Amino acid sequence: MDTEISVTARQWWWRNRPKYNMGLMIVGFIAFLIYCILGPIIIEPHEEFEETIFEMAFQGFAYLIMMGIANIFYTLGWIIDSIFNENNSQLFRERLFGLGYWFSFALPILLILSVMVRFLIWGK
């Protein structure tokens, strides 16, 4: 592994981490809003749906743990970049970042939507 490529990759990924984390916070808030909007409409007819302060704090804490796990996978980005990006291609780096970026942001929304679809189909 070429040290120059590795340092360049690491620096690039480090500079883009705040953008990644800001996106995770925004999508977490959007997923929570979707849950709060669709919950009374889809879940309430089948079972009690209520958002208490305790539940919101628990979900927020759980999401922070998920963000930590997502950041571990984000770190794998620069490792993969330094191993497979032999030409130090900016395009390769941006595509790899984009793939991880959008996958990470799709997961919270897909989780909420899967819960809603489950209630729509099976009613529990």
Give 17-35 pLDDT, tens digit per residue. 999 999 999 999 999 999 9
Task: Return the pLDDT at 32.
Answer: 94
Domain boundaries, the chain: 3-122
Task: Give the CB-side neighbour count of residue 26, counting CA atoms within 13 A.
Answer: 10
User: Pseudo-torsion of CA 75, 76, 80, 82, nearest 10°?
Assistant: 30
Task: Return the pLDDT at 124.
Answer: 67
How much is the pTM?
0.85
Low-confidence ranges of the chain (pLDDT < 70): 1-7, 124
Task: Return the pLDDT at 36.
Answer: 92
60 Cβ contact list (under 8 Å, min separation 6)? none
